[in-house]
Structure 1
Amino acid sequence: MTTETIRITNIPVPVSRVGLGTWAIGGWMWGGTDDEASVATIRGAIEQGINLIDTAPVYGFGHSEEVIGRALEGMRDKAVIATKVALEWNDGRVRRNATPERIRQEIEDSLRRLRTDRIDLYQVHWPDTLVPFEETAAELLKLQQEGKILAIGVSNYMPAQMDAFASVAPLATVQPPYNLFERAIEADVLPYARDKGMIVLAYGALCRGLLSGRMRADTTFDGDDLRKSDPKFKQPRFAQYLSAVDALEKFARERHGKSVLALAIRWVLDQGPTIALWGARRPDQLNGIADVFGWKLSAQDLADIDALLAEHVTDPVGPEFMAPPLRKKVA
């Protein structure tokens, strides 16, 4: 398989344009996980040329990072590790904290869990408006100068917030939610990234599995699965989105001989300087990655896809439900 790659500033090796997203590998909010299967999934991704592994401390409260560290034992240099910083948790409750003290604690914890001496891409997970963005940026710049991180990124930031951050430290990437169904960044973050030469890591590229083509009207979600609180998976919206997926599946087969899953990822890659994050926790969930590469969507394809979406999804909703709360100011 020939994997498409892209260059990220300060990362010395080409980075695969599909990255492995490991939120589900942490288990939390995805109904549990199987560590042996997760290790096999990470190694399987590397074998297929997918070298970007994206994680975060909050994914399973450290568990995702620990599993990645174990999986990459003896093959660390084959991977580009992207993790995050500036969320803290207590009794399963998550909140934002981008203070220098929190960052210093987290970098050491992440390095230990990942069994590595460097983080290739270190991203601020959510903007913390109680800490000046310049102050957070200054601490990450120090980590970069110390060699503990190579490239700096942010996640879920808006352009004005990135401007403030970038006045102190160079930003290589931004990671927003982006997929066929969730496209708010086209109004601001995506053109900003293009203009600034930043790479966009699109998370939720398959929209929590909606665009996998595997979901049906009777699909249910158990335990702490976040899709239980996602308005897309509640009726009547769920039926609208499934109808759109069926139409997209037919379009992909007839026009390109591809699956809807391959179409969804290809669409993200064709939008600009993008990397699509592909969430998986079992090796079989990597099936179909090869179908993403080696072709492109035409302008007519893109217009026809937009028309299909407008026809089937009459009550669209974004990913806002996923945002963790801001901290409260202390009097």
Structure 2
Amino acid sequence: MKYNYLGNSNLKVSAVGLGTWAYGNDTFGKVEDQQSIKAIRAAVDSGINLIDTAPAYGDGHAEEVVGRAIEGIRDQVIIASKCGTHREGEKYVMDLSPQRIRKEMENSLRRLNVEQIDIYQIHWPDPDTPLKESVEELLKLKQEGKFKYLAVCNFGEELLKEISEMTDIISLQPQYSLLKRDIENKTIPYILDNNLGILSYGTLGGGILSGKYEERPQFDDEKDNRAGFYPFFRKENWDQTQSLIKLIKEIADKHNQSPAQVAINWAINRSGVTTALVGAKSEKQARENAAAADFKLSGEEMIALTKKSDEVIKNLKV
């Protein structure tokens, strides 16, 4: 495993991190808690030290699972959680009001069974709450020792500039993969210029870049709405993705790696990316994801994947 300092912090994070959205057990199909705990433990055993979670994942359930999994190994992991997005039934509600932030922090600490969160992130912007009010409350929580470092998710460069004028942040968590690269034009240059880190999510595009689907999957399970979040699974986009996946498979065969490992390796070797967050539903997946950092695509392969990605993205309907 490779490790990198996250932005201007003293946190040294693994190049592959563990995303825990699936452990909420309400978005990526059914996952047994004990299986999730084993996957988290396998990830840590394999060198992954960054675990990213959020209250919105299963209305706090993912945090509870993470809390159980890290019992006894808290000193081996860096915990990142979030505020500002919660569940009301099937709906995700953006709320960065000071009272909501404080409530979510207390709930997260309880569910994770920790005294302090290492990286506390604004999950999504809230257009109804002035950012200044949210930041003031977050700084109070930081002074109280509730978390170490502040970070954000899903912010564009304008919001990054706005919050950076109020306080220090260490990283951005955006969606980024071979099928989604819109942050490259403006956001990544801003990140590099300001010595921030990137924790990218959606590294496998909801699983499509793993190459495991021979045909377009039908996610009928009421607990699986990944096709709603990742447009690559839609009928009008499915055929467009296949030439990219074919190339990924060809390169994977040359390296004796899986297609998922190739997609992850591409991401962690892109400019500005500190850690690529990847989910794992099993111990096998967790170990495979971690091993994606242990080989290196050639310069020619990186260029070929990027060029094919450009062609595919240009024709996607999103």
Fold conserved (TM > 0.5)?
yes
8 Å contact from structure 1 (residues 123, 154) kept in 2 = yes
Mapped to 1, the partners of 2:271 and 2:307 lie a distance apart of 21
Please give the per-residue CA displacement for 1:145-191, whole angstroms capped at 9, x wherever unaligned: 22110111100001111111111221101000000110000012211
Relative to structure 1, the CA distance from residue 93 to residue 290 in structure 2 (aligned partners, 3 Å threshold; closer, same or farther) is: closer
Q: Is the 8 A contact 1:258 1:291 kept in 2?
A: no
Stretch moving more, 34-43 or 267-276:
267-276
| Deviation for aligned residue 1:32 | 2.2
CA distance in 2 between counterparts of 1:108 and 1:79 reads 20
- Contact 2:150–2:168 at 8 Å: present in 1 too? yes
Deviation (angstroms), 1:82: 0.4
2:166 counterpart of 1:168: yes
Structure 2: stretches of 5+ with no match in the other structure: none
Residue aligned with 2:252, SS:
helix
Q: Is residue 26 of structure 2 the alignment partner of residue 5 of structure 1?
A: no
Residue of structure 2 in register with 1:158 after alignment: 156
Query: Residue in 2 aligned with 1:270?
Result: 269
| Paired residues, number | 315
SS at structure 2 position matched to 1:129: coil
2:18 to 17, 20, 24: 20
**In 1: Cα distance, 2:304 partner to 2:5 partner:** 31
Kindly tell me: are residues 106 and 129 of structure 1, through their superposed partners in 2, closer, same or farther at Cα, counting changes over 3 Å? Answer: same
Alignment match of 2:119 (pick from 118, 121, 124) = 121
**Cα 1:204–1:228, aligned 2, differ >3 Å: closer, same or farther?**
closer
Match of 1:327 in 2: none
1:184-223 to structure 2, matched below 5 A, reads 184-223=182-221
CA contact (8 A) 1:174 1:201 kept: yes
Partner of 1:281: 281
Residues 114 and 239 (structure 1), Cα distance of their counterparts in 2 relative to 1, 3 Å cut = same
Deviates more, 1:8-17 or 1:131-140: 8-17
- How far apart are 1:4 and its partner, in Å? 0.6
2:68 and 2:112 in contact (8 A); partners too = yes
Contact 2:43–2:290, Cα closer than 8 Å, also in 1:
no
SS at match of 1:208: helix
Sort the Cα spacing of 1:281 and 1:257 in 2 relative to 1 into closer, same or farther, 3 A. Answer: closer
> What RMSD over aligned residues (CA atoms) do the two structures have, in Å?
1.9
Flag structure 1 segments of 5+ consecutive residues without an equivalent: 319-331
* AA at the equivalent of 1:280: A
> For the structure 1 residues 184 and 317, does the alpha-carbon distance in structure 2 shift closer, same or farther, using more than 3 Å as the test?
farther
**Alpha-carbon distance between aligned partners in 2 of 1:52 and 1:170, rounded to the nearest angstrom:** 21
CA–CA separation in structure 2 for the residues paired with 1:135 and 1:59: 25
Moved over 3 A (4+): 9-13, 294-299, 309-314
Does structure 2 retain, via aligned residues, the 8 Å contact 1:201–1:276?
yes
Task: Label 1:11 to 1:44 Cα distance change in 2 as closer, same or farther (>3 A).
Answer: farther
Where does residue 30 of structure 1 map in the other structure? Answer: 28
| Inter-partner Cα distance in structure 2 for 1:37 and 1:210 | 22
The answer to whether the 8 Å contact 1:22/1:281 transfers is no
Deviation at 1:139?
1.7
Task: Specify the alignment match of 2:258 in structure 1.
Answer: 259
Give the structure 2 partner of residue 296 of structure 1.
296
Distance 1:314 1:202 in 2: 21
- Name the counterpart of 2:242: 242
- Same amino acid, percent of matched pairs: 37
**Shift, 1:134, TM fit:** 2.2
Q: In the aligned structure 2, how far is the partner of 1:65 from the partner of 1:210?
A: 25
> Counterparts of 2:135 and 2:271 in 1: how far apart (Å)?
26
Query: In 2, are the aligned partners of 1:69 and 1:114 still within 8 Å (CA)?
Result: yes
Q: CA deviation at 1:297?
A: 3.6
Distance 1:152 1:310 in 2: 33
Paired residues of 1:133 and 1:161 also in contact (CA < 8 A): no
- Relative to the length of structure 1, the TM-score reads 0.89
- Tell me: CA distance 1:215–1:101, structure 2 relative to 1, closer, same or farther (3 Å): same
1:316/1:77 CA distance change after superposition, 3 Å: same
Q: Are 1:25 and 1:280, in contact at CA under 8 Å, matched by a contact in 2?
A: no
- Give yes or no for contact 2:179–2:312 (8 Å, CA) kept in 1: no
* Structure 1 residue 210, shift from structure 2 partner: 0.8
